[in-house]
Structure 1
């Protein structure tokens, strides 16, 4: 397996408690936030969190910690390189 490039020395952890509370470390940036979806950039890639009544209770980008409450229905990782390709249509990808 090929080693990942440009991974920061920061640690990254995700703790989910009863699908109602979530703690994430290694957060670099919050890209998007709404009661239904939160998109984060972490040292290990992007995380998309979907759910209901999602609320960021604590955010400290200096130490990279984030706490979320609400009903969490999905957590999906994607690579940092995928940020630029989101939102591009099928035809846009073909003629890239």
Structure 2
């Protein structure tokens, strides 16, 4: 989302019910998914959801809402560091 050339941050919330359903807001993109891992992009970092029989039930790019079902074992965030440079800059640190 952009307004006057500036990116707007979306509110990021999540509601988990009985470790079986998860409803999220503030999702920018789905990076990858399979039955064991779902990787989502948010304004505050990458969200990694691990579990079993995970299925994305719905995703709206416009509103940033996503719903997911399955056995949810863990949720973890990773910072998105855009200043990492390329492969060789990380190799020679």
TM exceeding 0.5 = yes
Q: Structure 1 length as normaliser, TM-score?
A: 0.78
Tell me the residue number matched to 1:29.
Answer: 29
Offset of residue 80 of structure 1: 1.6
Q: In the aligned structure 1, how far is the partner of 2:48 from the partner of 2:36? A: 11
Q: Deviations over 1:20-57 (max 9, x none)?
A: 00011000010000000000001221100000000000
Please give the residue correspondences for 1:9-28 in structure 2 after superposition, counting only pairs within 5 Å.
9-28=9-28
Q: Describe the SS at the equivalent of 2:81.
A: helix
Tell me the CA shift for residue 93 of structure 1: 3.8
Q: Which residue of structure 1 aligns with residue 44 of structure 2?
A: 44
Gaps of 5+ in 1: 1-5
Matches of 1:21 and 1:7, distance apart in 2: 30
RMSD: 2.4
Q: Does 1:69 align with 2:66?
A: no
Q: Which structure has the highest strand share of the two?
A: 2
- TM-fit CA distance, 1:94: 4.1
